[in-house]
A = this chain, B = another copy of it.
Amino acid sequence: MHEEQEQPDPLTPEVVDLMAALVGVFHKEYEEAAAARSLTGAQAKVLGLLRRGPMPMRQIAQTLSCEPSNITGIVDRLEARGLVERQPDPEDRRVKRVVTTETGSAATSELRASLNFAREPLAALSGEERLQLRDLLQRMLDHARRQD
């Protein structure tokens, strides 16, 4: 795939460590924001996926890189709380499309708005620096996605 070249660049491991630390902060904030609404992180993630419209179980599993049977349980719990509904797909009677209810999408928006992670840390940066950061992250992400 790619050569196991170790980096002559001492900067790379440093940046990796920073990313790791930031991932930790972000993850923690996300869990806390979800917990404040009595949601687990996984439930919040699924709810977040449905922001743009209904999605079949299978696709949820693929997007989150986990087994479909796992999604069954998470959706069960969301449904039990009235945040989500399973509806039959008119095209294919095997598939069930998951849709957020009113309550569900309200919860998602709230959670999203409260995700002030980078509203805090980003406050340390000027407008121009934020622009720089966005571009750098965007390029890394594009690169990462092309790898799949």
Interface residues of A in 71-124 (CB under 8 A from B): 113, 115-124
Interchain CB contact (< 8 A) of A143 among B120, B137, B142: B120
How extensive is the interface on chain A, given as a class? Answer: 35 or more
Judged by a CB distance under 8 angstroms, whether A59 is at the interface is no
A 115-148 binary contact with B (CB < 8 Å = 1; else 0) = 1111111111101011111101111111110010
Closest chain-B Cβ to A130's Cβ sits at a distance in Å of 5
Which residues on A are within 8 Å of B, measured CB to CB? Answer: 2, 6-7, 9, 11-12, 14-16, 18-23, 25-28, 30, 65, 113, 115-125, 127, 129-134, 136-144, 147
Other than the given A11-B127, A19-B26, 15 more pairs (CB < 8 A) read A2-B116, A9-B127, A9-B130, A15-B118, A15-B122, A16-B117, A22-B137, A23-B23, A25-B144, A27-B27, A28-B65, A121-B141, A123-B143, A133-B133, A133-B136
